[in-house]
Amino acid sequence: MSTSTAAPPTVVNFTVDGRQLSAPPGTLLIDACKRAGIEIPAFCYYEGYSLQAACRMCLVEVEKMPKLQTACTLPVMEGMIVRSETEQIHKARKGTLEFLLTNHPLDCPVCDKGGECELQDMVFRYGAGESRFTEIKNHEPERQWSPVVFYDPARCILCYRCVRACNEGMGVGALGVTNRGVVSEIAPNMVDHLDCDECGACIDICPVGALTSNTYRYKTRPWEMQHVGTVCTHCSNGCKTTLGVRNDEIVRGNNRDRSGINGEFLCVKGRYGFDVSTNEERVTSPMIRINGKLEAVSWSKALGFVAEKFRSVSTAGGSFGVVAGPHLTNEELFYLQKFTRAGLKTSNLDHARSGDLVTLLDALSGKTDALATSDDCYNTKAALVIGSDLSQQHPFLAFQLRADVRHHKANIYTVTPGPVREAKYSAQSIEVPVGGEFDALRNLTETLKGEQELVILFGDSIKGQRVRDLVEWASGLGIPVKYVCLVDYSNSRGAMDMGVMPNLLPGYEVDPHPGMSLGQMLSHETLDVLWVVGANPLRGKTLASKQAFVVTQTMFLEETSERADVVFPSASAYEKNGTVTNVTGQVQRLKAAVRTMGAKTDLEICGLLAKELGLAVEIGVWSHDVVFKEIHKSVRGYNVPLPILITGGAAATNPVNGRVAVDVRIEDIQSAGDTLFTSGELGRYSKLLTSVPEFPGALYKR
């Protein structure tokens, strides 16, 4: 025999139920079978999390092994002969289910999980029709652990999925197991209640109805709902969420089909933050300020009134200022910028900017493939987070990095002004005050040169010249580097892409006639009209111009509405069709889940206003698909493959690769610093987000 160092085999051949299969070495038998279409039942096994082998449902017969083996912990081996359907296995499964049902109550008719319960399905398929147990079942009363989470110990089958999802997936570790043997149960970290992210991942992952959500309890049964796949409207990560809708009311948010960029990940906002749309403070009728008080009027009267004012200001050569919100769809933003530039003949157009993407694009000019997507955050060998509490501000990107560490042993580096959750599993965490980031980076230089690739995620403390410095420093590392410029809200990125900026047209083309930025508009003393679409720029700020006629399109009467002369009720993102672009530049489709009486989408309001002003022909049809067609055709980077969008996927945009030669006013760029439980203007009106004990939360605390 030679001592040749033959490469390890790249494929392992084995037999399951007489079928020849092959898989890469190290694949678990249960996964290999699943891919070949052979179902092996399991409760505790969950793809992506650590192995437990607790439920004993996945037992299979392997030749030359005396006892039945758990397929979930058994890696495939060369020449292995497996049988997954034999008399012995059927008996074992039946026995396992009989034991699970010794204490599991048969209250399926009143259980929220009834109809989508894995235990129900398993018993139906593999279980015995009757039980030999005649003893009285152990019963423990139900407990409420938080405003969101209820735990019913009697229903729990102790698969530990929730424990692992909380610990590994979320990095919180708020759940554990207490007691031993037959009295084991899941316990929260604060003995009788939870102190956690309130993300509800444990509820979603629970195969039975042991963990239930307070917002969904008893509202409906699973088969009564329509499922609408749309995009979460809160932060910029753009998680896909499937809304359960019953009788025009959203009753549940989750993503159990694991479609979209986020799989089934959702944070507290994505899973429960939809209640803003049913808040009873919603504006339901247009209002005009008459004698200092907002009075409800008809749509035609309000539209006519605004159009009349716009026309007279326009004729007199007055100044307009337009402020867009970061939650509008790409279609609305595009239509609004066209309205402003072509209709109102001004570029006084802006939104609350939260990240300096413009300078980044300019600094990356000439580099291809330099912007990371959310998939890159999962696949990269190393990542560097600068100036952001990622788990709080960008929970999905933080989840991706955690999964990257678990599955690919990636190295995470953080440079932040305070302690962050990433420190627990990072290769190196450095705390420096804002401004000192580059000293920390210089210390990291040698370490990072040893990495194969790097994804840099940076927050709003890196802006202007500092972005150029960062790119220059990273270029010196000599490894491929990709960047993510972190921004705040669901379509902050789209607002920049759609040219809702005073000096840039859609697709980052330089505007030959730049206008005023948001800060300049507010401090302009003779501004004649301020038109606010889905934003609240006057929160904590004042409008310098006393004469300004303020029009606002809003869901709630907030600070801007208090100053407004006309208020239009607008629809929330759960009531809209269109597209949004997430922080990593992926476009996804919004689908209207419900309708709210009285409100119209911002696109429709802008369109009706254009019609009233006689500009409709010039600006175009206010239908989301017509506007999207125009975006698809004309905006640089948005000629994305349509099948991906239509089927609910995320299509990566490919923005400009060239100089973006404009002055960036870095004082305009400021992140709102939202935590997990705040969400700018929307979060204030979510009863659930404001009711959890962790609200409002704080950045850089853990």
Q: Where on the chain is the footprint of another protein (CB under 8 A)?
A: 101, 105-110, 114, 130-131, 133-139, 217-221, 223-224
Please identify which residue in the block is written with the tokens 């959890």: 692
- Smallest gap from Cβ 136 to another protein, in A, equals 5
- Smallest gap from Cβ 124 to another protein, in A, equals 14
Where are the strands (E) in 147-291, listed by range? 149-151, 175-178, 185-188, 211-213, 226-231, 240-246, 249-254, 287-290
Q: Nearer Cβ to another protein, position 134 or 291?
A: 134
Q: Nearer Cβ to another protein, position 246 or 367?
A: 246
Q: Nearer Cβ to another protein, position 125 or 137?
A: 137
**CA 542 to CA 523: how far, in whole Å?**
8
Structure tokens at 361: 């694009």
- Smallest gap from Cβ 181 to another protein, in A, equals 19
- Smallest gap from Cβ 133 to another protein, in A, equals 6
What CA–CA distances, in Å, run from 208 to 50, 173, 212?
20, 21, 9
Q: Nearer Cβ to another protein, position 108 or 645?
A: 108
- Smallest gap from Cβ 127 to another protein, in A, equals 10
Decide if 575 contacts 266 (C-beta within 8 A). Answer: no
Q: Nearer Cβ to another protein, position 129 or 433?
A: 129
- Smallest gap from Cβ 208 to another protein, in A, equals 15
Please list, in sequence order, all residues whose beta carbon lies within 8 angstroms of the beta carbon of residue 599, skipping any fewer than 6 positions away: 282, 283, 284, 555, 569, 570, 571, 572, 575
**CA 325 to CA 387: how far, in whole Å?**
24
CA angle at residue 591 from 217 to 281, to 5 degrees? Answer: 60
**CA 111 to CA 210: how far, in whole Å?**
9
For residue 569, give the nearest of 171, 279, 160 by alpha carbon: 279
Decide if 651 contacts 586 (C-beta within 8 A). Answer: yes
- Smallest gap from Cβ 270 to another protein, in A, equals 25
- Smallest gap from Cβ 137 to another protein, in A, equals 5
Q: At what angle do helices 624-634 and 330-338 cross, to 10 degrees?
A: 80
**CA 304 to CA 398: how far, in whole Å?**
48
Q: Nearer Cβ to another protein, position 130 or 446?
A: 130
Q: What is the largest CA-CA distance in the chain?
A: 100
Structure tokens at 416: 């932040």
- Smallest gap from Cβ 209 to another protein, in A, equals 11
**CA 275 to CA 289: how far, in whole Å?**
28
- Smallest gap from Cβ 266 to another protein, in A, equals 25
Q: Nearer Cβ to another protein, position 132 or 633?
A: 132
Q: Nearer Cβ to another protein, position 108 or 544?
A: 108
Please identify which residue in the block is written with the tokens 């440079």: 415
Q: Nearer Cβ to another protein, position 133 or 312?
A: 133
Q: Nearer Cβ to another protein, position 26 or 141?
A: 141
Q: What values do phi and psi take at 120, rounded to 5?
A: -55, -50
Q: Nearer Cβ to another protein, position 141 or 433?
A: 141
Please identify which residue in the block is written with the tokens 């316990």: 187
Q: Nearer Cβ to another protein, position 150 or 334?
A: 150
SS3 assignment, position 625 = helix
**Continuous segment of H or E residues that includes residue 531:** strand 529-533
- Smallest gap from Cβ 217 to another protein, in A, equals 7
For residue 108, give the nearest of 100, 126, 125, 120 by alpha carbon: 120
**CA 298 to CA 303: how far, in whole Å?**
9
DSSP lists the bridge partners of residue 213 as 149
**CA 560 to CA 271: how far, in whole Å?**
28
Decide if 459 contacts 483 (C-beta within 8 A). Answer: no
Q: Nearer Cβ to another protein, position 245 or 609?
A: 245
- Smallest gap from Cβ 154 to another protein, in A, equals 8
- Smallest gap from Cβ 105 to another protein, in A, equals 7
